[in-house]
Chain A
């Protein structure tokens, strides 16, 4: 599959591109969590502002996995996990600190935005882990039912179901459960009507994204591969 003889010692450019990709991943991940609380209308359904940057995280891990191997992609996910936890702790501390009377931002405003932050991070982590687990289970179950045939059915059905579960868990933890239990008077849980609309909007967007993701990753991988001198035949 691979023809080139690329000496690892002189890998300055590939290494630098890896760091750029890693930076894009971390930046997009942090931004995703921070701006998640604002929703706008998209095709008649509410959609979170985090959809502006969320896709970057997927595209980057796919590119890294393709160009640099799955171990580097996993390393990025691990780093993202650790950074998210550290940032959440810092946000929580910043939220608790006593405010000065001259502050440009008042406590209520700060609390409305950052009070929800731990719920968003917690929700996405629980959602992600559960979805991965469910995905494997459904895939296995369908494999037995279809007697090892029809890979595309298994693949798509398991992904569609796990993504729906992921969406429900994230929205429920971030906007319903966390505002109830965080003991912060300025954060309020959303109603079930809004909940269902948000879940529908988010889920539809994910489906759309999955379709767009494939050509994007193909193009980016091709370009980066060409740039750092990997030739595939």
Chain B
């Protein structure tokens, strides 16, 4: 088929759904980076506001991976990374520009919210990398100890421990180390106790969500498949 024909052709339903899924992934990911500095109380748990939205990025990624293949999903991950970096750059720029006196949003509110953004993006990247390494290392270690048996045990232990490190490192960089470095003004680091509390609570939430994610992805894949008749 010639490209000229491609240009005049309607995108298939499958392509349209793909673009919308990718768009939703990016939208939710960026939003998570921004709103996550508000801590909320759900029952007895103290969570970040991002904990409500962040899990959807995983569900969306799993659905994309299942329906459009692993290479598409990998491409989406890279896009998410680039989008986060782009957002960090733009919000940083917007934050340092001198404000107009009658601006609808005052500078104090703006810099408190976006002052955390670089730390959040940095924190999630560093935490992700370290957690992946710990995951792989622990998997190897337990494989030797169990002499190659009990795959499910190794799998679960390495993931659970990796996730704990991920959560702790992320919270540490985003809300303790980044405010202490002081590259963005107007933000205060959280106390050690708060750090500990948010890490444990977020971690519990993540573990619980992992179980909910499975039916969510199944339902999502089923619905999208039926819709695009793939």
Contact = CB atoms under 8 A, between A and B. Distances in A.
Contact of A69 (B6, B76, B107): B6
* Chain A interface, DSSP helix/strand/loop, else mixed: helix
Interface in B1-47: 1-4, 6-11, 15-16, 19-20, 22-24, 26-28, 30-31, 34-35, 37-42, 46-47
Interface string A13-47: 01010011011101100110011011111000011
Interface residues of A, number: 72
A174 to B, nearest CB: 8
Interface in B178-198: 179, 187-188, 190-191, 194, 197-198
Contacts of B91: 31, 34-35
B100 interface: yes
A99 B38 contact: yes
B22 A41 contact: no
Nearest to A108: B109
A8 to B, nearest CB: 4
* Chain B interface, DSSP helix/strand/loop, else mixed: helix
Q: How large is the interface on B (under 10, 10 to 19, 20 to 34, 35 or more residues)?
A: 35 or more
B110 A20 contact: no
Contact of B100 (A30, A46, A175): A46
Interface stretch (B82-90, B123-131, B143-151, B204-212): B82-90
Nearest to A72: B11
A41 B106 CA distance: 14
A173 to B, nearest CB: 12
A212 interface: no
B24 A83 contact: yes
B214 interface: no
B90 A23 contact: no
A75 B116 contact: no
A68 interface: yes
A84 B28 CA distance: 10
Contacts of B105: 37-38, 112-113, 116
A208 B100 CA distance: 20
Interface in A84-116: 84, 86-87, 90-91, 93-94, 97-100, 102-105, 108-110, 112-114, 116
Interface of A: 1-2, 4-8, 11, 14, 16, 19-20, 22-24, 26-27, 30-31, 34-35, 37-41, 46-47, 49, 52-53, 68-69, 71-72, 75-76, 78-80, 82-84, 86-87, 90-91, 93-94, 97-100, 102-105, 108-110, 112-114, 116, 174-175, 179, 190-191, 194, 197, 230
5 contacts: A2-B3, A6-B6, A79-B20, A97-B49, A105-B37
